[in-house]
Structures are given as structure tokens and as C-alpha cells.
Structure 1
Amino acid sequence: MSADRPLAAAGFIFAAMFFLGFFDNLVRQIAPELGLWQFHLMRTVMAFGLFALMSLSDRVRLRPIRAWAVMVRGGLAALAMLFYFGGLGFLPVGQVASGLFTAPIWVMLISALFFGKPIGFTRMGAALVGFVGVVIVLDPFSEGIRPAVVVPMAAGFFYALGAIATRQWCEGESALSMLAAFFLCLGVFGAIGTVIMTVWPHEVPLGADGFILRGVVWPSGWALFITFLQAIGSILGVGLLFRGYQLGDPAQVAIYEYSLLGFAAAWSFVLYGDRLGPSAVLGMVLIVVSGVVITLRTRES
């Protein structure tokens, strides 16, 4: 087994979060035009075109060892991204990412309920701190009761299930086989959603408000370009992420993922002029502290 290279691992994770923060912000460019479901279907077709090119190399392994495990894990991760990208259509990416990072809390709770792993006072306190941070960032009562703010936390829940499935069932699987299964599941969900939203008679709000409810539309060249960038960005970001985990201690490397909150907020400001208020910054700090404590305590137990 090769020795850990913590600095290199940190570099790969920071690079992954930098790119993902940028590409995820681009979803706001297509939300007024495309639907969530068609976007995922189109992105999957494009991604598999890239996979086909990569498969020409002898060093690339797309065939999984346990197909059922990789597909279940891919389905859970795909559900997480449906909620995540659904939220990106009408919430700033920093807010949506904050909900996604409730995943360590969900992992802790699910592990305690179904695998009998003790939580302990420290991790329970950290979970409460993280939940307070998420509530501060999402601010669900600023415009009355907004059910939409539950969407990012649902993304965190399914992301946690995907992480547990990866740990329990997918040891030894290649990163690309899991990524291909993820895109395949996302494409299937996208196809089903596209058909339903197209044949089901319903009113679709104009602009980004109709992102989740919109059926098939004829995409503009700009929408195709942004979707293609998203496909490339997802493969690039996840590839860098997996490489980082290969080079470092997973418990330590996971902490670096929280840099996505900062990169997402920075790109939102650069691209759209979005500014974080003091309360949002405080909430993000609490989320990071919570995740770090839970991750480190889980490593020790």
C-alpha cells in the first residue's frame, strides 16, 4: 500500500471543489430555459459519449465487480443530485451546498439506528451545531414558511445513503465504474421525469420557477453548451475527488470537501454578484465545524 500524501490529496480535493463550485453555478444559466429532467437526460448522453472515448484506453475499467451494488449506490447518489440540482434552479449554490453538507449528520444518525454505532455526547453536540448552521444559512422563515428549503437537506440525506452504500458494498470498485452507474441512474430518472412532465397536463411557471416542472423543450445552443460543460465538469470534479481520496486518509480528506462552500459562494459573487451576509457566513462556519468534529470523532471510534 502506498504511503499517504496529505498535501497532494488536499490539492486534488481543493481543485475538485473549485471546479464543482464553478460548474454548479452555471445551472442558473439554463434553469429559465430547460427542465431539470431534460437537463439530466442530456447531460447523461453527453457524459456517456465521453466515457466511450475514455474506454478506448486499456487503463480505464468501466465494468463493475458487483453490478447490483454499484447500481444501488448510483441510484442513491443520483437521487441526491436530483434534489441538489433541483435546488440550484431557485436557490444560491452556497445555500444548496450547505444543505448537502448535512450528510455527515445523516450518516451518523443512520449508522446509529441501523448499524448500532454509538453516537456519543460530542458528536451529538456537533450534529446540533451543524443543524443550527444549516437553518441559519437556509433561513426558512425569511419569506414565510418555504418548503423549498427542505430540498437541499433531502440532497444531504440521499448523499449520506450513497456514502454508506459505497463503504458497505463497493470496496474495490473503480471510480469510473461508480461514476458511470451514477450517470446511468441519473439519466434513467431524467428520462422518466421528462416523459411525465411532458405528457402530464400542468401549468409550468415562467423562468427558473419552472425548472422542476418543465417537460421537453428545444434547447438553444447556449443551453447545450452549458450542459456539455456540466458533463465535462462533473467528470473532471469527481475524478479529482476520487484521486484525492486515493492519496490521503479518507477521514482527513473528507474535511477538505467543505471548501466547496467557500468556492461556491465566491463563484456566485463573481458570476452573479451574490453577497453573503454575516449570518450566512456564521451558518457556514458552524456547518464546517460540525462536519469536522463528526468526521474526526467517527475516525477515532
Structure 2
Amino acid sequence: MNTEAKSHTLQAAALMVAAMLTIGIIDNYVIHLAEEIGLWQFHFIRGLMTVPLVVLLSLIGFGTLRPVRLGRVVLRSLLSAVAMICYFGALGLLPISQVLAGLYTSPIFIVVITALFLKVRIGPWRVLAVAVGFTGTLFVLQPDPANFDLRILMPVLAGLFYALAAIATRSLCAGESTVVLLGGAMLALGLVGAGGLIWLALFPVEAPPGPEGFLLRGWVWPMWHAAPWVVLQAVGSVIAVFMITRAYQLGEPSLVGVFEYSVMIFGPLYALVVFGQGVGPWQGVGIGLIVLAGGIIAVRNR
């Protein structure tokens, strides 16, 4: 590896770690949103804030907003939106360590989906990675068959749709600008949020107070206590996604992707230090196994 390539790799690693640190911090505050407003209002208002930021990125030269294949971008955006609805919905109800564990099963789903449906041959190392990652997920989520809670499936669904969006990005959206994909995902989330608000306005349900009502709560106004956290999410998510995209442009994806797992350190560590939200020993083992599985998949993809 020459000096320039090493420099780009170091820059990519630094950007990815910075992005994961940002996500690990800001996503801990979703619980504050869940106490006052609903999931659908959050995504609708965040969409109103983030889409102009994406337009600004295009205007200053980071990519076009014109898609090459509109239908494919729409499909990828919807898959990404469903993943984020499940992810943020789970953040309002579950500890961040469990939610991140579910989301980062996505490399495992990518291997399984490409093997079963795209007929890509997988070797014994990837099979081992799937087994290790699945075991780690069970350790972190700790499902109780005698008292099963459907909420623990939300992070895993987030991981599934995140994987589908990743596959769509690679196989359907090659050649699309980063700004198009970022803008499409943010716009789709905003529209899904608007749809959820309209549904709850037409068919209202009684939402429990606090975070338990996050998924069922309709429009709430005023929302002054939640507003700072929505702004934090809007600005922080655009910055983080931009850094992630730039990291993958600068460095070898299979190497850069390993640093994405640093969020599973930053998120729970911040929750522990700031909120006193600890991680049990078996959950710690599970997080380690998921990171190991992702590392195996990344190395075998090189």
C-alpha cells in the first residue's frame, strides 16, 4: 500500500469512527423524544429539517439530486425508511445496546439473502459468521420463551430491512449520487411519518404516557421540550451519514466497514456514563460475538 493509499485509509477510518461516535451519542437521546411526541411526528418533522440540508449539500457541489433510475431509488428509499422506523421505534422502548445489536445483524442478513435469493455461493467462513452473529444476537436480546415480548423483534426487523437497503444500494442503485440516496431516504422517512400521522388522525388510539406511547402517539403540539432533540437528530444524522459515505469513498469498503461496529462501543458506553444504563455480562459477550461476525464477513469480502 503506497503512502497516498495509507493516508486515504486513515482518513476513512477516522471519518467512520467520528460518524459512529456521533450516532452513538445522539441516538441515546431518542428516549427524550419518546416521552413527549410520537415516532411518526418525529420522522415527519425531522424530514422537514433534513431535506433542505440535503439540498444544500447538492448546491455546494457534493452531488446531483437527479436520480438515474427513479424507481430503483424509490424502492431503496422505502427499504431504508422501514429500517429506520423499526430502529428508532425500538430506541424509544429498549436499551440502546439491544437496538444496536439488532440493527447490526444486517451483514448476517446480507449473507443469507444473497445466498438464498441471489444464488451467491458462500463459503464455510461466512456460514461460521452467520452462526456466531446469530448466537451473539440471542445473548444480547435474551428472549424469554415464557414471557416473550414482541418489541425485541423490532431491532432485528431493522437489521433485515437495513440489509435489504444495502443490497439495493449495491445491485440496483450503482451510479446514483450519494446525495440522491441520502435525500431519497430522508424524504421517504418524512413521508412515512406524515402517513402515520394521517392514519392516527383518522383512526385515533389512546397512547400510554411516556415512552410506552411512542409508536401510538399522534400529533402533539406544542412540542418545545422535544424540539431540541429533533434538531439534534436532524443535524447529527445528516453529518454522520455524510461522513459514512465519504469514508466508503476514500477507503476499501471491506476494511472501512469494520470500523462501523465501533458504534456498539460508543452507544452503550455513553448510555452507561451519562444515563447509568448498564450492559450485563452475557450482553457484553453477545456484542463481542456480533462484532466478530461482522469482522469475519468483512475480511472474507476483501
1:279 equivalent in structure 2: 282
**Distance in 2 (alpha carbons) for counterparts of 1:175 and 1:72:** 16
1:58 Cα deviation from its structure 2 partner: 4.3
1:253 equivalent in structure 2: 256
Of residues 179-188 and 217-226 in structure 1, the stretch that sits farther from structure 2 once superposed is: 217-226
**Over the residues paired in the alignment, what is the CA RMSD in angstroms?**
1.6
Which amino acid in the other structure matches residue 208 of structure 2? P
- CA offset digits 1:222-273 (Å, max 9, x no partner): 3112101101011000000011101111111111111010010112123311
1:1-12 alignment runs, 5 A limit? 3=5, 5-12=8-15
1:184 equivalent in structure 2: 187
**Distance in 1 (alpha carbons) for counterparts of 2:62 and 2:137:** 41
Q: Secondary structure at the match of 1:115?
A: coil
From the superposition, tell whether residues 50 and 234 of structure 1 become closer, same or farther in structure 2 (CA, over 3 Å). Answer: same
Moved segments of 4+, more than 6 Å: none
Which amino acid in the other structure matches residue 165 of structure 1? A
Which amino acid in the other structure matches residue 128 of structure 2? G
**Distance in 2 (alpha carbons) for counterparts of 1:192 and 1:293:** 40
- CA offset digits 1:15-35 (Å, max 9, x no partner): 000001111111011101110
Q: Secondary structure at the match of 1:208?
A: helix
**Distance in 2 (alpha carbons) for counterparts of 1:31 and 1:13:** 28
**Distance in 2 (alpha carbons) for counterparts of 1:99 and 1:8:** 28
> In the comparison of the two structures, how many residue pairs are matched?
298
**Distance in 2 (alpha carbons) for counterparts of 1:142 and 1:106:** 23
**Distance in 1 (alpha carbons) for counterparts of 2:266 and 2:211:** 23
**Distance in 2 (alpha carbons) for counterparts of 1:137 and 1:9:** 29
Which amino acid in the other structure matches residue 61 of structure 1? T
Of residues 84-93 and 198-207 in structure 1, the stretch that sits farther from structure 2 once superposed is: 198-207
From the superposition, tell whether residues 46 and 117 of structure 1 become closer, same or farther in structure 2 (CA, over 3 Å). Answer: same
1:143 Cα deviation from its structure 2 partner: 8.2
Which amino acid in the other structure matches residue 16 of structure 2? I
1:83 Cα deviation from its structure 2 partner: 0.3
Q: What's the TM-score, normalizing by structure 2?
A: 0.94
Of residues 75-84 and 44-53 in structure 1, the stretch that sits farther from structure 2 once superposed is: 44-53
1:10 Cα deviation from its structure 2 partner: 0.6
2:163 equivalent in structure 1: 160
1:55 Cα deviation from its structure 2 partner: 4.1
Tell me, yes or no, if structure 1 residue 221 matches structure 2 residue 227.
no
1:150 Cα deviation from its structure 2 partner: 0.5
Tell me, yes or no, if structure 1 residue 113 matches structure 2 residue 84.
no
Q: What's the TM-score, normalizing by structure 1?
A: 0.95
2:206 equivalent in structure 1: 203
Q: Secondary structure at the match of 1:182?
A: helix
Alpha carbons 1:33, 1:219 under 8 Å: kept: no
Q: Secondary structure at the match of 1:216?
A: coil
1:244 equivalent in structure 2: 247
Tell me, yes or no, if structure 1 residue 66 matches structure 2 residue 69.
yes
Q: Secondary structure at the match of 1:24?
A: helix
2:91 equivalent in structure 1: 88
Give 5+ residue unaligned stretches, structure 2.
none
**Distance in 1 (alpha carbons) for counterparts of 2:260 and 2:62:** 27
Give 5+ residue unaligned stretches, structure 1.
none
From the superposition, tell whether residues 115 and 286 of structure 1 become closer, same or farther in structure 2 (CA, over 3 Å). Answer: same
**Distance in 1 (alpha carbons) for counterparts of 2:53 and 2:61:** 15
1:59 Cα deviation from its structure 2 partner: 4.7
